[in-house]
Amino acid sequence: MYLTQLDPAFLAVESESTPSLDLFFSATKALDSRITFVRASVGTFINSSGLIESASSGTARFTHEPITLRSLGLLVEEPRTNLLLRSEEIGTSPWTASGSSISANFATSPDGTSNADKLVENTALDDHQVYQSATIVSGTTYSLSLYVKPAGRSWFGMGIIGLGVTGTVFFDVANGTVGNVKAGVTASIQNAGNGWYRCIVVGAATATSFTLYASARTSNGSGTYTGDGSSGLLFWGAQLEAGAFVTSYIKTTSATVERAADSVTMTGTNFSSWFNASEGTLFADYVSTGTTASKFFQVAALDGGSNNSGIGLVDTFNRAANVFIPSFSIQASFTTTLPTSQQSAALAYKANDFAASFNGGTVQTDGSGSLPTLAILYIGNGPVAGQQAAGTISRIRYYRRRINNAGLQSMTT
E strand or H helix at 201, and its extent? strand 196-204
Could you give the C-alpha distances from 297 to 21, 130, 204, in angstroms and in order? 22, 37, 22
Residue type, 277: A
What is the helix, strand, coil percentage profile of the chain, to 5? 5, 50, 45
**Given this model, what pLDDT does residue 11 score?**
44
**Virtual CA dihedral for 50, 52, 54, 59, nearest 10 degrees?**
50
**Virtual CA dihedral for 84, 88, 90, 95, nearest 10 degrees?**
-20
**Given this model, what pLDDT does residue 14 score?**
44
Using 50, 70 and 90 to split pLDDT, how confident is the model at 383? confident
* 3 falls within a domain: no
* 2 falls within a domain: no
Taking residues 108-122, report their average pLDDT. 98
**Given this model, what pLDDT does residue 295 score?**
58
**Given this model, what pLDDT does residue 410 score?**
94
Task: Quote the CA–CA distance of 223 and 170 in Å, as a whole number.
Answer: 11
Task: Quote the CA–CA distance of 144 and 333 in Å, as a whole number.
Answer: 36
DSSP state of 14: H
Over 60: is that where the pLDDT of 390 sits?
A: yes
Q: Which of 65-79, 111-125, 197-211, 322-336 has the lowest mean pLDDT?
A: 322-336
E strand or H helix at 264, and its extent? strand 263-267
Q: Are 249 and 139 in a shared domain?
A: yes
pLDDT more than 90, % of the chain: 73
Q: Are 314 and 228 in a shared domain?
A: no
Q: Are 245 and 162 in a shared domain?
A: yes
Over 80: is that where the pLDDT of 342 sits?
A: no
* 43 falls within a domain: yes
Number of structural domains, the chain? 2
Q: Are 74 and 86 in a shared domain?
A: no
Q: Are 109 and 201 in a shared domain?
A: yes
Taking residues 67-76, report their average pLDDT. 96
* 312 falls within a domain: yes
Q: Are 304 and 360 in a shared domain?
A: yes
Could you give the C-alpha distances from 140 to 143, 162, 182, 199, in angstroms and in order? 10, 11, 18, 20
Look at residue 411 and give its three-state secondary structure: helix
Q: Are 337 and 236 in a shared domain?
A: no
Print the domain residue range for 329. 8-79+261-411
Task: Quote the CA–CA distance of 189 and 173 in Å, as a whole number.
Answer: 9
Domain stop point among 201, 224, 258: 258
**Given this model, what pLDDT does residue 305 score?**
76
Q: Are 74 and 179 in a shared domain?
A: no
Q: Are 30 and 101 in a shared domain?
A: no
Q: How many CB atoms lie within 10 A of CB 273?
A: 11
Q: Are 265 and 188 in a shared domain?
A: no
**Virtual CA dihedral for 413, 68, 81, 165, nearest 10 degrees?**
90
Residues with Cβ within 8 Å of 316's Cβ and at least 6 positions away in sequence, in order, are 292, 295, 296, 297
Closest-CA residue to 199 (of 150, 127, 132): 150
Using 50, 70 and 90 to split pLDDT, how confident is the model at 1? very low
Task: Quote the CA–CA distance of 24 and 282 in Å, as a whole number.
Answer: 14
Q: Which of 237-246, 265-274, 310-319 has the lowest mean pLDDT?
A: 310-319
Here the CATH number for the domain that contains residue 163 is 2.60.120.260
332 φ, ψ (degrees, to nearest 5): -160, 140
CA 126-131-135 angle, 5° bins? 145
Distance of CA 92 to the CA centre of its chain: 29
Contact 410, 357 (CB under 8 A): no
Q: Which of 30-34, 99-103, 291-295 has the lowest mean pLDDT?
A: 291-295
- pTM > 0.75: yes or no: yes
Query: pLDDT per residue over 294-339, tens digit each?
Result: 556 678 889 887 666 788 887 654 456 677 665 557 787 777 765 5
**Greater pLDDT, 111 or 388:** 111
**Given this model, what pLDDT does residue 372 score?**
87
Q: Are 102 and 231 in a shared domain?
A: yes
The DSSP result for 353-367, as a single string, is: -EEEEETTPPPEEE-
Domain stop point among 258, 280, 303: 258
* 1 falls within a domain: no
Strands 21-23, 125-126: pairing kind:
unpaired
Taking residues 141-145, report their average pLDDT. 96
Could you give the C-alpha distances from 398 to 17, 27, 170, in angstroms and in order? 10, 17, 47
Task: Quote the CA–CA distance of 279 and 303 in Å, as a whole number.
Answer: 14
Domain stop point among 258, 287, 313: 258
**Given this model, what pLDDT does residue 329 score?**
72
Closest-CA residue to 134 (of 246, 242, 209): 209
Task: Quote the CA–CA distance of 185 and 163 in Å, as a whole number.
Answer: 7
Q: Which of 157-171, 236-250, 330-344, 346-360 has the lowest mean pLDDT?
A: 330-344
